[in-house]
Chain A
Amino acid sequence: MPKTLLVDPDKCTSCRLCELVCSGRNADAFQPARAHVRVTIDVDEAFYFPRVCLQCDDAPCLDACPCEALVRDPRTNAVVILHDKCNDCRACEAACPYGAIRCWDDRAWKCALCDGDPECVRFCAPQALRYEPAESWPAAARQAYAARLRELAQEARP
């Protein structure tokens, strides 16, 4: 059974080391603008919220792609983008209700769980991000996370 990237926002301390190491690994540069994980921070409200891809079972991005550039990796259960097939139509970006897909350099990009060893988890000192069996994330907590993630994604859109 593949593990899941579990998020516990209450443990986040707003350091954004996840953004730095994600971009370091996946974009070859320390560049938060190109990280797949993003942390929403509102210090006035004491609100920190790491935003990650949920690798949905019923993934809208997969269905939206007209060129079969998005596929499920059976080892990790991650939805991954085959960049040689991506034509930058941005249908996946528009389809994702969670804002987990972004486009640059004429391609779409998203979290692929670092092939089963997520860099963000490895560097998250407060353990707000964990990589654990799916059942260790209680359904109610996961649903509450997803709902908030969806709200934040909608707020961010113009």
Chain B
Amino acid sequence: MTHAYVGQLLRVDLDRRQTRTEPLNRDLARLFIGGRGLATKLFSNEVDPNVDPLHPANKLILAAGPLTGTAAPCGSRFMAVTKGPLTGAIASSNCGGDFGPDLKYAGYDLIVFDGVAKEPTILVIDDGKVELRPAADLWGRTVDEVEDTLHTRLGRDFKFVSIGPAGENLVRYAAIINDKSRAAGRSGVGAVLGSKKVKAVAVRGTGGLTAADPAGFRTTCLDVLEKLKNGAVTGTGLPRFGTAILVNVINEHGAFPTHNFQQGQFPGAEKISGETIADQILRRNRACCSCPVACGRVTEIKGGQYAGRGEGPEYETIWALGAAVGVSNLAAATKANYICNQLGLDTISAGATIACAMELVEKGVLTEQEIGFPLRFGDGEALVRAMTQIGRREGFGDVLAEGGARLAAKYGRPELFMGVKKQEFPAYDPRGILGMGLQYATSNRGACHVRGYMVSTEILGLPMKMDPHTTAGKAAVNIAFQNLTAAVDSAGMCLFATFSIGAPELAALLKTATGFDYDVDELLLAGERIWNLEKLFNLRAGFSRKDDTLPPRLLHEPMPAGPAAGKTVPLTEMLDEYYRLRGWDDQGCPTPEKLAALHL
């Protein structure tokens, strides 16, 4: 098996400090594509769904897709697949940057970590040569320090993923960071790496990838490139203003969750918008490998107590560290973002957990005495302070490190946790975008926007406009988005590309790259297969229909004001239709007929 796949995976047995190379299974690659899909297949074959996510028997897989490292525009992604410490569900966190391509040039499509190392360890893959090295001196260091040290020690041209102190300290939403500022962010994949005592993975390689049909692949790449350049979102909006271009858009729709979802519009939105970021702190765009969009923001806060340099904030981050916590001070929110990157924290869950704590304070349930300092909505200084404490599990940060669900439950107000399956919501209030309510409830990795981005159709009108305030047709579209997204993630393509391309272009890229005779139907069937496989894992891990729900606030408390005033999410009707259209029973279990049709 060659062409766009390297054709082999690396198994890392940390208990025995041994590694071995294994050929990629061609039949499984065709059925599950690679990346998220193939990693989930291997993971669910090999790991007991009831394993404690931080137990050595949990595995963690880093997985590039077949397009990763090729010239496919936006094809640079890899996934981290494991059982998530935040959720107890399947976790699969997506990340761009340079690591995925270089993993393949170094010789592997996937790395499977098993067991736990006796001492802090780094994995080095130098052009096919694999080595586990002790790294006690790196333990406790920030992501920046680790990358700078390893660049000096190993060579400038190495690429890394690493964890910060948050991953070492098993913060339940610790991220795996690549290129200092890009995160496989959600569900606590960084804590799993930390539990295994793996501080970093370094890769470098001179290997090459080919396309099965070079001329056809090139033509398809040019077609995709033109569509990305000409698309309004990928050609203009994202390059100019980054993902935070959405701040004003979502706020104007009254779906910009404010003060832990107590309101849908943030008075300070203008001060933290993509336009303001571009105007005040942007130094330069930053693209992931092979991406013509370049939505990344290299930024700097000049002077003052929040002075610093780094990347971000992107949209979800500036929401979580802005509107969610009521902070309209761009410098403070950006500083909190830099801290998350350096300590290795998921910005969404970190900000949203602090927002939950702020509401507990506001309600008088949680005292400032317990926290050790005032923690009120709008206080940027407190935000920055709390963030540092979380990453190091210092003081009250030790409680916040458990996430919003455990925090709210600890103080007897579980209903104030804003999320699903113990994972915090991202930056859209579904009372103003009803399809997102269904998406949040059904996402296999807990509350998540990038498993079926209904905002695209309900707000942006891509590929067609749907009314955000009605439920008609939402289940069918959400299913289509979820299936396509599973295929996109598995291919190694960035989801943002789907603002301008769809299944036909992706199928053409995959067909010409891999030589597998994919068409649109097979591609979407593969996506559906992957989605069902993730669902099966969660069912075996103990999840059921009662977990496919939303917090009572979103189901029963009408949005207080703004364009979505008076709205709640009529979830049950959408969920019933969703299960039916998925071919699942009324408890959300795939039927035997459906599983047979999907070869599961």
Measured in the bound complex, the distance between the Cα atoms of B292 and A126 in whole Å is 7
Chain A residue numbers with a CB within 8 Å of B218 are: 21, 24
From A31, A34, A48, name the one whose CB has the most chain B CB atoms within 10 angstroms: A31
CA distance A9 to B225 in the complex (A): 21
List CB contacts (< 8 Å) of A1-42 with chain B. Answer: 13-17, 20-21, 23-24, 27-34
**For residue A28, which residues in chain B have a CB less than 8 angstroms away from its CB?**
208, 210, 214
- Given A20-B71, A24-B218, A46-B298, is A13 in contact with B287 using a C-beta cutoff of 8 Å? yes
Q: CA–CA, A33 to B106, complex, Å?
A: 11
Check A29 against B294 for contact (C-beta < 8 Å). no
Tell me if B292 and A17 are in contact (CB < 8 A).
yes
- Known contacts: A20-B71, A123-B71, A125-B292. The answer to whether A29 contacts B225 by CB under 8 A is no
Contacts of B298 in A (CB 8 A): 43, 46
Is residue B389 within 8 Å, beta carbon to beta carbon, of the partner chain?
no
B211 CB contacts on chain A under 8 angstroms? 24, 30
User: Are B292 and A30 in touch, CB under 8 angstroms?
Assistant: no
Cβ of B311 < 8 Å from any Cβ of A?
Answer: yes
Of residues 289 through 318 on chain B, the ones whose CB sits less than 8 Å from some CB of chain A are: 289-294, 298, 309, 311
Expressed in whole angstroms, the Cα–Cα distance for A28 and B283 within the complex equals: 36
Q: Which residue of A lies closest to B290 (CB)?
A: A17
Residues of A within 8 Å of B116, CB to CB, are: none
Which residue of the partner chain, among A14, A30, A48, A125, contacts B210 with CB atoms under 8 Å? A30
- Give min CB distance, B67 to chain A, whole Å: 10
Q: With A and B bound together, what is the CA distance between A123 and B288 in angstroms?
A: 15
Given contacts A15-B288, A122-B222, contact A30 B311 (CB under 8 A): no
B207: interface (CB < 8 Å): yes
Query: How many residues of A sit at the interface, in one of the four size bands?
Result: 20 to 34
* B342, chain A: closest CB distance, angstroms: 13
Number of interface residues of B (CB under 8 A): 40
Please determine whether B70 and A16 come into contact, CB atoms closer than 8 angstroms. no
Q: Is B456 an interface residue (CB 8 A)?
A: no
Please name the residue on chain B nearest to A16 by beta carbon.
B289
Given the known interface contacts A15-B289, A24-B214, A125-B292, the answer about A31 and B206 at a Cβ–Cβ threshold of 8 Å is yes
Question: Using a CB-CB cutoff of 8 Å, which residues 63-118 of chain A contact chain B?
Answer: none
Contact A30 B225 (CB under 8 A): no
Question: In this assembly, does A58 line the interface, its C-beta being within 8 Å of a C-beta of chain B?
Answer: no
B70 touches A20 (CB 8 A): yes
How near does chain A come to B110, taking the closest CB pair, in angstroms?
A: 18
* A33 to B98 Cα, complex, angstroms: 14
Whether A34 pairs with B208 at a CB distance below 8 angstroms is: yes
Let me know if A135 is at the binding interface, CB within 8 A: no
Cα–Cα, bound, A48→B287 (Å): 11
Residues in chain A near residue B101, CB distance under 8 A: 32
Asked whether A57 is an interface residue with its Cβ less than 8 Å from the other chain, the reply is no
User: In residues 425-453 of chain B, which contact A (Cβ within 8 Å)?
Assistant: none
B294's partner among A33, A43, A123, A126 (CB-CB below 8 A) is A126
Q: Mark B361-376, 1 if CB is under 8 A from A, else 0.
A: 0000000000000000
B352 close to chain A: CB less than 8 A? no
User: Given the complex, which residues of A lie within 8 Å of B206, measured CB to CB?
Assistant: 31, 33-34
Residue contact B179 to A43, C-beta cutoff 8 Å? yes
Among candidates A15, A23, A31, A34, residue contacting B287 with C-beta atoms closer than 8 Å: A15
Q: Can you name 19 A-B pairs with beta carbons within 8 Å? A: A13-B287, A15-B287, A16-B98, A16-B289, A17-B290, A17-B291, A17-B292, A20-B289, A24-B71, A29-B208, A30-B70, A31-B105, A31-B209, A32-B101, A33-B206, A33-B208, A43-B179, A43-B180, A126-B292
The 4 A-B residue pairs with the shortest CB-CB distance in the complex, in nearest-first order: A29-B208, A31-B208, A125-B292, A15-B287
